[in-house]
Amino acid sequence: MMKLPQQIKSVGKELIYNSSLLREIYLNKKFPNEIMLFNGHETDSSHPSILFFTMHKCASVYVEDILKKVSKKTNIIPVDLDNYLLTSEYPSLKTILDGDNAILQAKLKNSFKPTGYLYAALRYPKVLGQIDDLHQYRVLLMLRDPRDVLTSAYYSFGYTHTLPIAKAERKKFLDWRSKIASQTLDEFVLSIKDDWVKMYTYYCQNLIEKPNVMVIKFEDMINNFDSWLSSIINFSNLKPDQEQIEELVNAAKRKQVKPKDHQKALKPETVEILNTDFREILKTLNYV
């Protein structure tokens, strides 16, 4: 059962979904930075922009919130283009990149500036093709054992993930959710694994071992949050105060998030297939 604040939030989003006027007000209030950037805004900041690349089910929303908090005292503007496009009447980021709308693709490409912005979170590897001079950015890549990601995705996308506000994206998501409802966990995992192999492979081939890229792992965040957070702050050259760091560390201790164990959730034969298909990725990311 949803708690009362969640119910209120859900009702509020339904009102926004059903009213173009409320949706416009919501967009202007929640995404002012994204709207300005998507329409050509420039900043005078000299701080290298930070790109936070990740995947769904890698605590991306949680880490995005942390990055925004620790960057507040740095001359850098946080933007979430992925969420903005999902909420607006524009096509989603994935739809733009996979489509043939040259105008929107150029608009997206022009939204990436090498200084002054925190781009968080970017969950679709193909975005890399839209970014010129990648070496000028600080790039954070946060990944998780893909076998655990797929297991977690079944429960999230099938039952709990927030519905998109934009009508076109909501319909696509609900159609997918309906399909998931007819599948077992193992059937779902096997049906989507190939797409995730491609995404993980794209990240591994295009980001890992570059000098301006730091790979941060979900499991490291769980096992040693203090060290994980410190490494991000130092790499990104951010300047949070000690009190803010302590607040984040204490909150993380209270949260006590634990990774799922795919071996307990999936059939042995499914695990074996995943081990085979993700073999090179698991080696590259040190999950074997």
**Per-residue model confidence as pLDDT tens for the chain (288 residues):** 444 454 445 546 666 666 778 878 888 999 999 999 988 888 889 999 999 999 999 999 999 999 999 999 999 999 999 989 888 878 888 889 998 899 999 999 999 999 999 999 999 999 999 999 999 999 999 999 999 999 999 988 887 777 777 677 778 888 878 888 899 999 999 999 999 999 999 999 999 989 999 999 999 999 899 999 999 999 999 989 889 899 999 888 766 556 667 888 999 999 999 999 999 999 999 998
Among 46, 27, 216, 36, CA closest to 116: 46
Q: How far apart are CA 63 and CA 69, in angstroms?
A: 10
Position 28 in a domain? yes
Q: Which domain holds residue 215?
A: 19-284
Position 8 in a domain? no
Q: How far apart are CA 262 and CA 282, in angstroms?
A: 14
| Residue 224: count of CB within 10 angstroms of its CB | 12
Token couple for 26: 């919501």
CATH of the domain at 278: 3.40.50.300
Position 1 in a domain? no
Can you tell me which residue has the tokens 């076998």? 147
Position 152 in a domain? yes
Beta pairing, strands 77-79 & 117-122: parallel
Q: How far apart are CA 264 and CA 160, in angstroms?
A: 21
How many distinct structural domains can be found in the chain?
A: 1
Task: List beta partners, residue 140.
Answer: 52, 214
Position 9 in a domain? no
What is the widest separation between alpha-carbon atoms in the chain? 55
Position 7 in a domain? no
Position 219 in a domain? yes
H-helix or E-strand containing 60? helix 60-70
Token couple for 246: 């302590």
Position 4 in a domain? no
- Give me the sheet containing 77-79, strands edge to edge: 77-79, 117-122, 50-53, 138-143, 213-217
Q: How far apart are CA 3 and CA 100, in angstroms?
A: 42
Among 4, 8, 26, CA closest to 165: 26
